[in-house]
Each structure stands twice: as structure tokens, then as C-alpha cells.
Chains A and B, each alone.
Chain A
């Protein structure tokens, strides 16, 4: 039975401030009792990951990592959420690592496959930008060199 996972688009939709506050309060209440249930932690972590603020995303991924470490049974799902979190933060390398591990375990998972293609697209786009940059730098340096040589030879 394939794991139930949200598509990457779901991560772009953030919760309202109030909702996140409620989740945070619940998480902290359970922390005070020193017994935090996995669900509460995940709720808060997922809410943070969905938020557009980078600090939230970082914190969300950190909490997800804690869940990953603590609950072996939940690890497979966490792989996906971690990949998603890193993807939002533009850590494409990590995202790819987590996602590929997940796809090893569950090759037929639709969401994992879609996330994989999204990551590839982003990486490729960055690659083009990089290439363009390198090309531009090369062109500029060629121009500068040519000017210098011409000036030198004209003398």
C-alpha cells in the first residue's frame, strides 16, 4: 500500500497565522508535559514547512529530522517531507538524496516521482543560468583581453 503523501504544490499553500499559532501552542504544551506525540510534532513541522518564511522552513525541517530519528516506522513518510522541505529551501542536493532513497523503497509513488522531476527541472534551470553566467564572464574577459592586446599591438 503506497504511502499517502501530498503533492509538492501542497507545500506552497501555507496555513494562516492563527492556525500555525494554534499548532505551536499545542506543541509547546506537550513539550512542557515532556510527552510530545508524533502527530503534534508533525503537524507543527508541516505547518512550518508550508510557510513562506525561511526560518520557519528551517525549523520545520529540523523537527522533521527529529521525528525521523525517533520513529523508525515513520521514516519512509519523513523522507518525502524532508525532501520537500529542502526543495523549498533550495537545497536541491539534499532534496534529491532523500527523494531518491524514498524512490528506492517505493518506486511507484506518484508524489515522489513528481517531486523528483521538479527537482531536476530546478537544477537544470540553475544550470542554464550558471552556463549563461560563465558564458557572459568568458565573453567579457575575451573582450577585455582583446582590447588590451589591440592597445598593446597598436603601440
Chain B
């Protein structure tokens, strides 16, 4: 029996019916939950300023002392109507105010009396206001104590305010962090949108292809040319399902075989066929990317192969010997037989080369290019057996860059010219002379001699072009002799990057350059353009992004070492910038990152990617395949 509860009952009953509100219940219910909670040691402000002290410092009556003291200092002076003065000075005095308060009637400046006093001539100085009020000693002591207390109150209030400020600052910081995260999310959305745009284009292409296929009655017309070349295709590639499981940014496959730095590479599609060429080797190797095995080699060149492009099963190579080889990659294994009967076999090769000849059997090293020279019949445009369909001759010096699409090919060579070829006939259609373009700039400048904005060491009208490259990250450098570093065309528009650092835009119908983009201070080594931008990389350690229409520079990315290769799409630029790791620049978030995991041991020099599949070649003679 709880007597206490019983005892309370009469009081409750007699003291009037009181509704038990929800608040009452709320309080009582919450009690138990609250008691569970942890009660830590108070620290910080809670320790220095207790709630009670804060209460006493901040309640309105805390100010009582001050007002009291002010009142004690109030002197009884004749009414001067100061309030009225003040209000009229502020321009707020209205007619109604006259009738409002009784007090205001007295608030009239008694000008008359003052003036009267003066007129009487009595020059008695007015007493100081403070003279009329006398404070006793007790009063003064009391005021001292009061003021001390007020000062302590201020100290308390200051502590409270400081604490509040600190808390609010923390909140602001937290909110700022949230905001930056949201902004990053926005950027990521933008990137996704660009990716979707590309995918849409790819799907549209396929749709057109399908429609044309169903429309065409002649089944023999293979619509292979309706599909855009791999360089212009934007949609995502077809990849084996396992590719998604690969870790991002890791080189999952390495192809060994070359013994000198990789000079050029290209592949037909992810997990398709890869062709690589290295510096001291005149035979590019053909690999199967699905298995990582070497399928064969392309024999036909006499010097280093400096540029390669692969489209489906057709491959074009340009070499130091000034020739362009056209190859059918489907016939690579047939080449085997052709070689076997040659004298080469009987030579020391048998003793030399190494590991087992597999079923595709042809790891025949071609150590002596000169011997082979005797074998091949150096005549132009002969249909050969084996992978080589055709050999295009015409350039007098090394072919350093090429680009072909459908039946049109453009090559750039160290003889400072560019040639346009028709691949069906194998004939050179046009020759564009860069030297001529340099000395006759399209702008209305009275150009006699070299324009002086080109860097010294630019091509002289005669003589060979050789510029020492700045050292790569491992210190190595070489003499760069490719006058035409890169070409690309689309329809009639051709863009070339050359050794004088200029990027020229040509009209292939006339063979004349109509615009020159100046900015690089060293030979241009690589370039690519799409509908909006031209991106160029050069030995001056920079990548420049130009506006295709106006020729103005959008952005310049600076690096520590010369840029030797690049490729871009709407979202990123992947470049070989003279370091072991490949540089990936995210165009929406403007972030740089490097591909390093299981990467090259020496600077990477060449690269090509399609969708999430990247192939890179480096000075360490290794070819690495990455999942982006």
C-alpha cells in the first residue's frame, strides 16, 4: 500500500479538477528514457559557465543595476522639450503628436525665459549639472559593487557568445563539406550525361546500319563502310562480360616480344587484333588480344615502322623507307608458308631463336633486314601473297604519320610533304607541301622568309629537320626527326601537326591550308579532333585544346615531360606524357590521374583506347592492356 500516493489523493481531488494534459504524460513518459542516457562530465563552456550563472547574467533584471545608476544620475532640470526637438529633427513630428501625450505640452523649449535672463544682463555662469546631485559614500560603494557585478555578467555573456560562435562555425563547415560533395555529384552527373550522349550516337549508327541492311536487296553489298571508322565511332564497344569484373585502372595483360621501344600500335577492336611496331624492327607484330598470343608479322618494310592504323582487318603501316604498306590481317597466318622456302631459314636463325614454335609457328626473328632485301621485289603496287596487299611508294623520306578512312589515306613524311592517296587504285591523288605553306602563310602577312613566331630550329628551306627532345622522366632523349607529327582528316577537312609547332587546317579539295593554329613551341607529336575541339600534344610538354571553329585556345595542360601520344573523347583525355604512368585527364571535373598499376617500367610512348579498353606501348618494349 503506497501511503504516499494515498495521501496525495485528497489534495488532488480537492484542489480542483485539473486536466491531465498530453504534456503531463509526455513528461512522465520521457523520464525513464532520459534517465537511461549517459551523463558525461561537463566540460568546455558547461563547466565554466553554469546555466544558472548564465541565467542571472542574461535575464532582463540583470540590467537593473545599470538603469538604477543612470536614474540616480538624472538631474532635475527645467523641462526643455528635448523629445519634441529630437522628433522634429528626425522629421517624424506630425500634427497628431501635439494632442497625444499630456507630457508633450510641457516639452516646450522655454526660449523666452532664457532669452529673458540674458537680456537682464546677469552674466551668472550656469552651474554644472553634476553639482546639484550629491552621492553619499554608501551609495558610491554600492555603485562600485554593482559595476563589478555587471562586469562579471559581461564576462559570462562573452563566454556564452564565443561558444555559440564556435558552434555555428562548425555547423557552417559541415554544411560547406556537404555542398562540395553535392557539387562533385553534379559533375559526375554531367560526365554520365556525356557518356550517354556518345552511347546514343553509337546506337543511332547501328540503327541506320540495320535499316540499310534490311533495305538493300543485294545481299552482297556488305555495309562495312557505312559503319564509321573506329576513330570516329562514339558508342560503347562490345566487350566480353568478364571485362566488367576487371579492376579499374589496372594493366591486366602484358605482351612481351619486342626488344626495343614501341614505335607505333593500333588495334581493330577490344579483344580483337593488335599490330605493334618497335624501333629496331622492320616487322610489326600481329597479336590476338583475346589470347595474348602473337599471330604473325608483317614483312615488307625495310626500316622502322613509324605509324600504324588498323580498321577491322585492314592495316596500314608507314615506315622509315618512305613506303606505306597495306595489309590484310586475315592473311597473316598464310605468310608462314611463303617464308619457309626462303634462304633465310638456312641461316643462323635456327640456332638463335628460342621458345617453342606453336601451331601458328612463326616466331622467326628477322635480325638481318638486309638479307630480306634481296628477297622482296621492290616494285610498286604488286599484289603479293600473304598479308601485304599493296605497297604505296612515293615519299622520299620516312613516313611518320598516316590516317585513313574508307578509301582515302593521308600520309605525312619527313620530306615535309603530305600526300593523299586513293586506296582502291593505290595512286597518290595530291601532294601538299608544308614548306611552301610555311613560307606562304594564308594570313595576309607579307610573308617573306620564315615568320618569326616559329621557334628557332624550325625547318629551314633545305636540310633535314632534327630537334633534340627534352628528356623523358627516365632521362632518355633522342633526336626527333619527324617533321609531320600527326594528321587526321574528316571529309575535306584535314588537320596536321608539324615540326615547326604549328597546327594547320587544310582543305583537301584545294590542297591549301586555310588556318594555322600557333601556340606550341616545339614539334607537335600527336593530335586528334572532333566536331568541337582539336587537341594537340607536343614536345614542349603541353597539351593544347583548341576550338575547331575559331581557332582559339580553350585550355593548355602543362606537364613535366614531352607529350608523345594522346586520344580524347567528350569526357577525358588519355595521354602519354613522358612518364611511366599514363595520364588521364577528366574533362568535366578537371582532375588528373595516372595509370600506374602493373604499368610500364619506362616512359610510355604510344597509346590507343576504345571504350574501356586501352593498349599502351612504352620504351620498355612492353605492350600493356588496361581496363579503364
Hey, which bits of chain A sit against chain B, CB under 8 A?
Answer: 1, 3-6, 15, 18-19, 22-23, 35, 37-40, 42-43, 46-47, 54-55, 58-59, 61-62, 65, 68-69, 71-79, 81-82, 86, 90-92, 94, 97-98, 101, 105, 123-134
Q: A5-B52, A39-B54, A123-B4 are in contact. Are A62 and B10 (CB under 8 A)?
A: no
Query: Within the assembled complex, what's the spacing in Å between the Cα atoms of A124 and B500?
Result: 105
Can you report 18 residue pairs joining A to B where beta carbons are below 8 Å apart? A4-B50, A19-B59, A19-B60, A22-B60, A42-B51, A46-B55, A65-B27, A71-B46, A75-B37, A77-B52, A78-B51, A79-B39, A91-B28, A126-B3, A126-B4, A126-B8, A130-B4, A134-B6
- Name B171's closest neighbour in chain A (CB-CB): A35
Q: Which residue on chain B has the smallest CB distance to residue A127?
A: B3
B9 surroundings in chain A (CB, below 8 A):
130, 133
With a cutoff of 8 Å between Cβ atoms, the chain A residues found around residue B18 in the complex are: 54
B34 at interface by CB-CB < 8 Å: yes
Instruction: Give which listed residue, B26, B46, B55, contacts A74 with CB less than 8 A.
Output: B46
Residue contact B6 to A73, C-beta cutoff 8 Å: no
Q: Which of B1-21 contact A (CB under 8 A)?
A: 1-11, 18, 21
B25 to chain A, nearest CB (A): 10
Q: Return chain B residues, CB-CB under 8 Å to A40.
A: 58
- CB atoms of B60 and A134 under 8 A apart: no
19 more contacts with CB within 8 A, not counting A43-B59, A130-B9, are A4-B50, A4-B52, A4-B53, A6-B52, A19-B59, A37-B160, A55-B21, A59-B23, A62-B26, A68-B34, A72-B39, A72-B40, A74-B42, A126-B6, A129-B10, A130-B4, A130-B5, A130-B6, A133-B9
Number of B residues near A (Cβ < 8 Å) is: 46
B144 to chain A, nearest CB (A): 24
Q: Which residues of A contact B160 (CB under 8 A)?
A: 37, 39
A129 to B3, CA, bound (A): 8
Contact indicator B7/A128 (Cβ below 8 Å): yes
Q: Could you tell me if B4 and A42 are in contact, using CB atoms closer than 8 angstroms?
A: no
Smallest beta-carbon distance A3→chain B, Å: 6
Instruction: Report if B100 contacts A (CB, 8 A).
Output: no
For B44, give its contact among A39, A65, A73 (CB under 8 Å): A73
Is B164 on the interface with A (CB-CB < 8 A)?
A: yes
Q: Is the interface of B mostly helix, strand, loop or mixed?
A: helix
Q: Which of B8, B41, B160 has the most CB of A within 10 A?
A: B8
User: In the complex, A37 Cα to B161 Cα: how many Å?
Assistant: 9
A81 contacts across to B, CB distance below 8 A: 51
Complex Cα spacing A76 to B23, Å: 23
Q: Is chain A's interface secondary structure helix, strand, loop, or mixed overall?
A: helix
Interface residues as binary, B391-414 with A (CB distance below 8 Å gives 1, 0 otherwise): 000000000000000000000000
- B211 CB within 8 Å of chain A: no
* Complex CA–CA separation, A130 to B27 (angstroms): 26
Find chain A residues with CB under 8 A from B60 CB: 18-19, 22-23
- In the bound complex, do residue A61 and residue B3 qualify as a contact, i.e. CB atoms below 8 Å apart? no
List residues 82-121 of chain B with CB under 8 A from any CB of chain A.
Answer: none
In order of increasing CB-CB distance, the 10 nearest A-B pairs are A130-B6, A126-B7, A130-B3, A129-B7, A130-B7, A73-B46, A127-B3, A4-B50, A126-B4, A75-B39
Write the B40-69 contact mask toward A (1 if CB under 8 angstroms, else 0). Answer: 111111110011111100111100000000
Contact of B55 among A42, A59, A68, A69 (CB under 8 A): A42
A123 to B5, CA, bound (A): 9
A140 to B164 Cα, complex, angstroms: 64
Question: Which residues of the partner chain A approach B30 to less than 8 Å between Cβ atoms?
Answer: 65
Q: Is B531 an interface residue (CB 8 A)?
A: no
**Residues 327-365 of B contacting A (Cβ, < 8 Å):** none
Residue pair A97, B3 in contact (C-beta under 8 Å): no
User: Does B38 reach chain A (CB closer than 8 Å)?
Assistant: yes
Is B168's CB within 8 Å of the partner chain A? yes
* Contact, CB under 8 Å: A39 / B27: no
Q: What are the residues of chain B within 8 A of A86 when measuring CB–CB?
A: 27
Q: Does B24 sit at the interface, judged by CB under 8 A?
A: yes
**A61 lies within 8 A of B59 (CB):** no
Report the bound CA distance from A65 to B24 in whole Å.
12
Once A19-B59, A35-B168, A59-B23 are accepted as A-B contacts, the answer to whether A133 and B6 lie under 8 Å apart by CB is yes
**Docked pose: A129 CA to B11 CA in angstroms:** 10
